[in-house]
């Protein structure tokens, strides 16, 4: 298994970099496991890792229809934060914040977690009041939050249009300094390698076509690489949730699939020192360590499984970026791509046992599942191992929709487009 010490780097530099070992094994699937996890994205891999590490369940396979890390875990804009209003969300996302802080050491893999802060820009005094309310709610629960003046915003984002004649003049901002970014591929690879070392089998290119059932109970999966039986089957397939669950006979879930696009520019000198969001529309952006500006906006407002997007959203996102940073108008866009989002009806995730016996479901991540990967994996592993929800994910079980207990942080109702 690959080791990445300074000595190894030096040794391989002198031997043409041909001797590196694979970061994880490529095992043949066994006929049966204690737990099979469908989906080798961030949530599936972290769940496998914590099952093995925290609960001693090592007879685990993660099956993915492609190679690891090609789904949303490697397609997102990397923002990590816990700046929520509602206590359920605050405590749940704060668990991940704590885990992010030690993740590179925990996995012995540099996930490049950078606490450069997340700044929400306010364009109206009433918006600043709303931010103050959210910040106070966070501080009451021990999470850092600060109101920023106009001067603070200008310092964090040199080049932003601070003029009073701007389309939506800037009034201040709301900062969570402990928030930031991590390198998304490294998160997938780090969890994969660490889970593999604990004995988890990572089975790539194995699409789940059907679920094996003993009566009502889910008892395994039929994949393109054969049949695998399991005492427990967990599904963590993000944007493919409805389609995969349909294969288990579940055709109604409070989830819609939408495309979300992201964009990167050519490299620039540092001009954006934090992750930031625009309060006059829906836009979030940061500058990568390579200098590219990485940004995105709204989902495309129609259901789709295509991993590419539509031009009206591109135009909208570009217009918002140039409104804030007129000086970027001539910067070249290098790439854009899309990922399929699992949009839940209240904007909050679902981490649950069920909906069938022997089955467990992790989905509904909307715009924000990357930041939750460590905490979600730990809570989902707890649910699978103990057959009861973790204290912090208990509000996010599927039955909340039956109980009419929506966790609707933005108060914008059952409209995926608005989350």
Ligand X SMILES: Cc1cc2nc3c(=O)[nH]c(=O)nc-3n(C[C@H](O)[C@H](O)[C@H](O)COP(=O)(O)OP(=O)(O)OC[C@H]3O[C@@H](n4cnc5c(N)ncnc54)[C@H](O)[C@@H]3O)c2cc1C
Q: How far is the CB of 356 from ligand X (least distance, A)?
A: 16
> Which H or E element spans position 354?
none
Q: How far is the CB of 307 from ligand X (least distance, A)?
A: 8
SS3 25: coil
Listing DSSP states for 292-328 in one string gives EEEEEEEEEEEE---SS--HHHHHHHHHHHHHH-GGG
Which is nearest to 229 in space by CA: 243, 217, 241? 217
* 150 versus 247: smaller Cβ distance to ligand X: 247
Q: How far is the CB of 329 from ligand X (least distance, A)?
A: 23
* 344 versus 397: smaller Cβ distance to ligand X: 344
Measure Cα distances from 361 to 70, 192, 343 in Å: 20, 20, 14
* 169 versus 254: smaller Cβ distance to ligand X: 254
Q: How far is the CB of 376 from ligand X (least distance, A)?
A: 8
Rounded Cα distance between 84 and 67, Å, is 33
Q: How far is the CB of 89 from ligand X (least distance, A)?
A: 12
SS3 255: strand
* 132 versus 212: smaller Cβ distance to ligand X: 212
* 127 versus 344: smaller Cβ distance to ligand X: 344
**Taking a C-beta distance cutoff of 8 angstroms, is the pair 296, 317 a contact?**
yes
Q: How far is the CB of 342 from ligand X (least distance, A)?
A: 7
* 369 versus 374: smaller Cβ distance to ligand X: 369
Q: How far is the CB of 194 from ligand X (least distance, A)?
A: 16
Which residues have a Cβ under 8 Å from the Cβ of 311 and sit 6 or more positions away?
none
Asked if the bond preceding 355 is cis, omega within 30° of 0, the reply is yes
Rounded Cα distance between 140 and 395, Å, is 20
Question: Which residues here bind ligand X, judged by CB under 6 A?
Answer: 38-44, 63-66, 70-73, 75-79, 207-208, 236-240, 244, 260-262, 296, 339, 341, 365, 367-371
* 128 versus 320: smaller Cβ distance to ligand X: 320
Listing DSSP states for 149-177 in one string gives -HHHHHHHSTT----TTSSS---EEEEET
């Amino acid at each position: 298994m690959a080791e990445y010490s300074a000595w190894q780097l030096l040794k391989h530099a002198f031997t043409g970099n041909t001797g590196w070992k694979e970061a994880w094994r490529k095992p043949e699937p066994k006929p049966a496991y204690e737990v099979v996890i469908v989906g080798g994205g961030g949530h599936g891999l972290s769940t496998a890792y914590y099952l093995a590490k925290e609960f001693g369940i090592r007879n685990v396979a993660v099956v993915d229809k492609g190679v690891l890390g090609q789904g949303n875990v490697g397609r997102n804009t990397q923002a990590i934060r816990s700046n929520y209003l509602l206590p359920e969300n605050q405590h749940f996302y704060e668990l991940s914040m704590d885990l992010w802080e030690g993740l590179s050491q925990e996995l012995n893999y540099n996930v490049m977690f950078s606490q450069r802060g997340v700044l929400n820009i306010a364009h109206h005094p009433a918006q600043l009041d709303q931010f103050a309310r959210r910040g106070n709610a966070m501080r009451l629960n021990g999470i850092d939050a600060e109101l920023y003046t106009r001067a603070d915003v200008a310092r964090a984002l040199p080049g932003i249009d601070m003029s009073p004649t701007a389309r939506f003049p800037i009034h201040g901002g709301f900062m969570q300094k402990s928030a930031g970014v991590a390198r998304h591929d490294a998160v997938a690879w780090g969890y994969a390698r660490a889970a593999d070392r604990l004995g988890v089998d990572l089975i790539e290119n194995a699409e789940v076509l059907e679920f094996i059932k003993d009566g009502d109970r889910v008892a395994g999966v039929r994949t393109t690489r054969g049949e695998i039986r399991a005492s427990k089957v967990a599904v963590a397939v993000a944007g493919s949730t409805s389609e995969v669950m349909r294969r288990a006979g579940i055709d109604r879930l409070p989830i819609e699939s939408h495309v979300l696009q992201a964009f990167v520019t050519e490299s620039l000198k540092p001009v954006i020192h934090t992750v930031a969001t625009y309060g006059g529309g829906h836009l979030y952006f940061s500058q990568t360590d390579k200098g590219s500006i990485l940004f995105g906006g709204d989902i495309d407002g129609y259901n789709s499984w295509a991993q590419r997007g539509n031009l009206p959203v591109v135009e909208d996102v570009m217009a918002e970026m140039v409104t804030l940073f007129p000086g970027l108008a001539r910067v070249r866009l290098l790439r854009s791509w899309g990922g399929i989002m699992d949009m839940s009806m209240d904007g909050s995730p679902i981490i649950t046992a069920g909906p069938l016996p022997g089955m467990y479901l992790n989905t509904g991540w909307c715009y924000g599942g990357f930041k939750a990967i460590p905490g979600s994996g730990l809570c989902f592993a707890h649910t699978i191992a103990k057959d009861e929800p973790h204290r912090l994910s208990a509000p996010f079980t599927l039955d909340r929709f039956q109980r009419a207990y929506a966790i609707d942080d933005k108060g914008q109702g059952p409209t995926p487009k608005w989350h």
